[in-house]
Structure 1
Amino acid sequence: MHIEDQIVHYTSDELIRVSIAQTRRITETARQRHHLSPVACAALGRAMTGALLLAGDYKNHEGVSLKFAGDGPLGAVHVDAFDSNKVRGYIDNPTVDLPLKANGKLDVGAAVGQHGQLTVTRFTPEQMTYTSQADLVSGEIAEDLAYYLYTSEQIPSTISLGVLVDRDYTIAASGGFLVQALPGAKEEDLARVEANITQIGPITTYLKNHPDGEGLIDIILSGMHFKELFRKPAWWQCTCSRQRIENVLLSLRAQDKEELLQDPQVEMTCHYCGEKYVISHDELVTLFENAHKE
C-alpha cells in the first residue's frame, strides 16, 4: 500500500525550519502522462518536489515556477507549483535516456546539463511576479536550488531531492526535504543539523524503506525541540481547461482565425499535462461569432 503524497512543515526552538515532501504519486502521474524515460523521471520528479518545497515555504506567495535550462539532452525542465500543494511539469525531450553512472545511479546531471541557468518566478496573491536567476552548478536539481536560495535569496539551505525508478520503470519512491536557517539561528545548531542529515543516507532509499516519511524529521532535528506547523496533501494538477484554450483562440489575429477555419477541426495539446483539446469547425465558427457579437 502506497502512502498519499503530502508536504509537512516543522519549526524548531533553535530557529530552523524543515519542510518534507512525499511525491511518489505525483512523479508517477508525470511519468505516465509524458512517457518519461527513467532519467527524465528523476529530473522532473526532483524539480516538482523542489518546487513544492519552495511554494509551500512561502505563505505569502501564490505559486512558484522553475525552469532549469541546461545544456544537456533533456532540454529545459519546466515546473509550476501553486496553492502550496499542487504541481505540474514537463520536459522538452522527455524520452531521452542516458547510461547509468559508474555507481549505478541515474545521471541526472548529464541529462540536464551542468551549464545553463535556473529561472525562478514567484507569483504573489496580488498577481505580481518576481523573477530571478542563478547559474546551474551541477544539473542535479537539488544542488542548483540550494545555490539559488543562497545567492539570490541569501537563505542558507540544505535541500535533498530524489526519485527511485523501479525495474518496471514505475516510481518506487519520490520526495525530499528542505532545511533552512531562520534569522538568529546559531552556528552550532546548524552544524548539528548538518551532522544529523548525514545519518539519513540517500533520500530515495529512506523513503522506500519508510513510506510515510514520519521518522525523517526525528533524524534531521535530533536533539532539538520542534513542532509541526501544518501538513497538506499534495497532488498533480494542471491549470489548463477548454475555456483557456478558447481564450487563446479568441486572442489570435483575424488572419490566423481565418486560416484555422479552413481546417475541419483544431487540436491543441497542453505541454504541461499532455491533455488534448479538439474543437470542431462548427464549434470554432460559433466561438468566433459569439465573441464578435459581444
Structure 2
Amino acid sequence: MSDYKEGTREGDYLVRGTAWGGKVRVFAARTTELVGELQRRHGTYPTASAALGRTATIGSMMGMMLKGEEKLTLQVKGDGPIGQIVVDANAKGEVRGYVDNPEAHVPSNSLGKLDVPGVVGTTGFVHVTKDLGLKEPYRGSVPIVSGELGEDFTYYFASSEQTPSAVGVGVLVDVDGKVLHAGGFILQLLPGLTDEEIGRLETALGGLPHVTALLDQGETPEEILRWVVGDELTVHETMDVKFVCQCSAEKVEQTLISMGETELRNLIEEEGSAEVVCHFCNEAYTFDKPHLERLLQEATAGKNG
C-alpha cells in the first residue's frame, strides 16, 4: 500500500509480508474487536471465547493467503464439550464463526491460563475447505495434535500443505467475560533457508512472549513479527479484518422453498409460522403464515414450471 505508515492503524487489521530475503512468508493479525463481536453474538463463556477466537484469528490470516472471491471454511471437530468450531473467512478480511456449545468452559490450567484443549478436546480432526473457484473445492484434514489450535494448524500446514510453519494465537478474556486482546501470527518457511537460519527462528520462537502479552504491551502485529524475524521485515499489505455474515432474508427464503412443497405445507398446517436462526451471527428470521404461504406458492410454481 502506497499510503501505508506503520503504527498508524487503529483497531483490527491483518499484515502480510516477507522476511530474510523472501525466504520467510509472514502474516499477523490483531482481532480483538472481531473476537469481541463473536463473543457478544454467541454469548460464549471465557474458554469457548478463546477457542472460537483463536480459530477465527487463524482463519482471518489464512483468508489473507487467498485472492479475489476465494474463501475458506475451518472446522475443528474434537471430543471436548465445545463440540464443533466453524469459521468462514475470505480474501477481503471478512470473518464469521460459531461453536456448537458456546457455554463450554472448564477450570483454568495449572499455569492459570484458559484451558482451551479442555473444551476443544485432544482427539478429533481439523478440516480445511477452500473454495478457489475451481470445479471442486480443496479439502485438507489432519488429526488434532494438542487442542491448543496454534499447534494443530502448525501441523496442518506441514502435513496437508507441505509448508513448514509456525502458528501462534492468543485470546485474553477478562474476569467478566469481555475480550481484552486477541491476535496471532503465521510464519511459513520457504525454500532456501539454511539450517542456521532455521535455528535462529526456532530460538526466537522459543523465547517469544505470549501473543496476548505483547498485545497488552501495545505491540502492533508488525512489532510481533519483528520479535521473531528481526528488522528484516518487508510489509507487502495491510487489511482491515471484521465480522461479516453473508446471511439474508432472501437466502433463508430460498432455503425454505428448497424444503419442497410437502414440508412447507406441513410447516404451515402444524406450526403456522417459522423462525430460522443463523448459526454464524444469531440473527433470527421470522416468517408468518401469509409469508410461508407465498413461499409455498413459489415452491409449487417451481415444481410445475
TM-score between the two structures when normalised by the length of structure 1 = 0.94
Indicate if the aligned counterparts of 1:55 and 1:64 stay in contact, CA closer than 8 A: yes
Q: 1:269 aligns with which of 277, 282, 304?
A: 277
Q: Secondary structure at the match of 1:42?
A: helix
CA distance in 2, matches of 1:237, 1:93: 21
How far did residue 209 of structure 1 move? Answer: 1.2
Equivalent residue in structure 2 for 1:218, among 220, 223, 226: 226
Q: TM-score, normalised by structure 2?
A: 0.91
Q: Secondary structure at the residue paired with 1:29?
A: helix
Aligned to 1:251: 258
What is the Cα deviation at residue 127 of structure 1? 6.0
* RMSD (Å), alpha carbons: 1.8
Determine the structure 2 residue equivalent to 1:150: 158
Q: What does residue 88 of structure 1 align with?
A: 96
The residue that corresponds to 2:214 in the other structure is 206
Pairing 1:119–2:127 present? yes
Amino acid at match of 2:272: P
Structure 1: give runs of 5+ residues left out of the alignment: none
- The match for 2:185 is 177
Alpha-carbon contact 2:96-2:244 (below 8 Å) kept: yes
Alignment check: 8 A CA contact 1:79 1:90 kept: yes
Residue identity matched to 1:95:
E
Alignment partner of 1:137 is 2:158 = no
TM superposition shift of 1:218 = 2.1
SS class of match (1:217): helix
- Asked if structure 2 preserves the Cα contact closer than 8 Å seen for 1:163 and 1:173, the reply is yes
Query: How far is the alpha carbon of 1:34 from its aligned partner?
Result: 0.5
8 Å Cα contact 1:18-1:179 kept in structure 2: yes
Which position in structure 2 is the counterpart of 1:43? 51
Cα distance in 2 between the residues matched to 1:145 and 1:202: 17
Structure-2 residue corresponding to 1:105:
113
Structure 2 gaps of 5+ residues are 1-8
Distance 1:89 1:239 in 2: 11
Percentage of matched positions with identical amino acids? 33
**1:40 is aligned with what amino acid?**
A
Aligned counterpart, 1:128? 136
- Report the count of equivalent residues: 292
Name the amino acid aligned to 1:208: D
